[in-house]
């Protein structure tokens, strides 16, 4: 029998969408013949994984792993919430998160074989989603929060502060989970998006028949409302709308945050 190389296995996997072990077995059973191996996989019902790759996978789960001053939020997508709550899916998700904490975001690609194998086992289009890793410097405060619903993690938040304490970081994490800010501050909003929003508000204001001389001031006021809705530091604190998050922080500085939520 001819030698079966890693390149042969990879080529068969790419052609059929099966996992590494199934591709290797198919080649072994068929003396390394690629065409016969592909047929063998079809007969076994394994190559259907390739067809699943085009199916919508808008469900899934997210989890957080943490080790000391390093944390990671990892999302894996699938087709149904039933699969997202299964023990096999949960085990893979936790394995990926732990690997990202230990080895960085590239660890997900290194575990692609495990993802492919689960796609075959559970017969759904399973694929990694967003991956975020924080490694915080000495003296920073790191908080992580995971909201679970119906047996799966659906909303993961990570917050890094300079100054402040764990209690404050937790309050900010809970706020983010509820308020879903898109940016930390207005300085982070892309200029083209600000220009687009300004144009939309100007058009709306004109259509309302406002006096021409009043339009610039009205538009700027509405832009302020846009920033307040989407920029964390300008949002009203969910537990006390008399405080903005910037005011809640006081002398502490929110250096960064991340939110990974299923369906967003």
The series of mean pLDDT values per 10 residues for the chain, 264 residues long, is 80 75 86 83 64 66 96 94 93 96 93 84 86 94 95 96 95 97 95 92 88 91 94 97 96 96 86
- 79/174 same-domain check: yes
Query: Which are the contacts of 127, defined by CB distance < 8 A and separation ≥ 6?
Result: 57, 76, 77, 115, 119
- 122/154 same-domain check: yes
| pLDDT value at residue 46 | 62
Range of the domain at 194: 190-230
Report the chain's C-alpha Rg in angstroms: 24
| pLDDT value at residue 3 | 81
H-state helical runs in 69-129: 81-84, 87-103, 107-110, 112-122
- Burial of residue 69, with CB atoms counted within 10 A of its CB: 0-12 exposed, 13-18 middle, 19 or more buried: middle
The domain that contains 137 carries what CATH number?
Answer: 3.30.479.20
| pLDDT value at residue 48 | 57
- 36/142 same-domain check: no
- 152/81 same-domain check: yes
H-state helical runs in 111-163: 112-122
Q: If DSSP codes are grouped into helix, strand and coil, which group holds residue 219?
A: helix
What are the distances in angstroms from CA 66 to CA 33, 36, 114, 193, 243? 45, 46, 21, 34, 30
- 40/142 same-domain check: no
In a domain, 245, yes or no: no
- 48/63 same-domain check: no
Closest CA to 198 of 215, 177, 213: 215
pTM greater than 0.85: no
Task: Provide the token pair at 23.
Answer: 């591709």
- 22/102 same-domain check: no
| pLDDT value at residue 16 | 74
């Amino acid at each position: 029998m001819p030698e079966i190389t890693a390149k042969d296995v990879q080529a068969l996997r790419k052609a059929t969408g099966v996992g590494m072990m199934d591709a290797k077995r198919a080649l072994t059973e068929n003396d390394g013949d690629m065409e016969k191996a592909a047929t063998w996989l079809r007969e076994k019902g394994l190559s259907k994984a390739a067809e699943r790759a085009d199916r919508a996978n808008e469900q899934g789960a997210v989890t957080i792993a943490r080790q000391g001053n390093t944390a990671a939020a990892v999302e894996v997508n699938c087709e149904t919430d039933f699969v997202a709550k299964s023990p096999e899916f949960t085990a893979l998700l936790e394995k990926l998160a732990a690997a990202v904490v230990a080895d960085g975001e590239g660890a997900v690609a290194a575990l692609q074989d495990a993802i492919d194998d689960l796609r075959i086992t559970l017969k759904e289009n399973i694929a990694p989603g967003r991956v975020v890793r924080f490694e915080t410097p000495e003296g920073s405060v790191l908080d992580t929060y995971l909201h679970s619903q119906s047996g799966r993690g659906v909303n993961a938040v990570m917050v890094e502060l300079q100054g402040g304490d764990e209690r404050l970081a937790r309050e900010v994490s809970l706020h983010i989970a509820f308020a879903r800010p898109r940016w930390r501050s207005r300085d982070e909003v892309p200029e083209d998006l600000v220009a687009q929003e300004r144009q939309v508000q100007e058009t709306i204001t004109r259509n309302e028949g406002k006096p021409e001389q009043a339009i610039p001031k009205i538009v700027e006021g509405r832009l302020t409302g846009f920033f307040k809705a989407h920029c964390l530091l300008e949002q009203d604190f969910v537990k006390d709308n008399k405080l903005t998050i910037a005011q809640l922080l006081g002398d502490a500085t929110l250096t960064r945050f991340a939110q990974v939520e299923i369906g967003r």
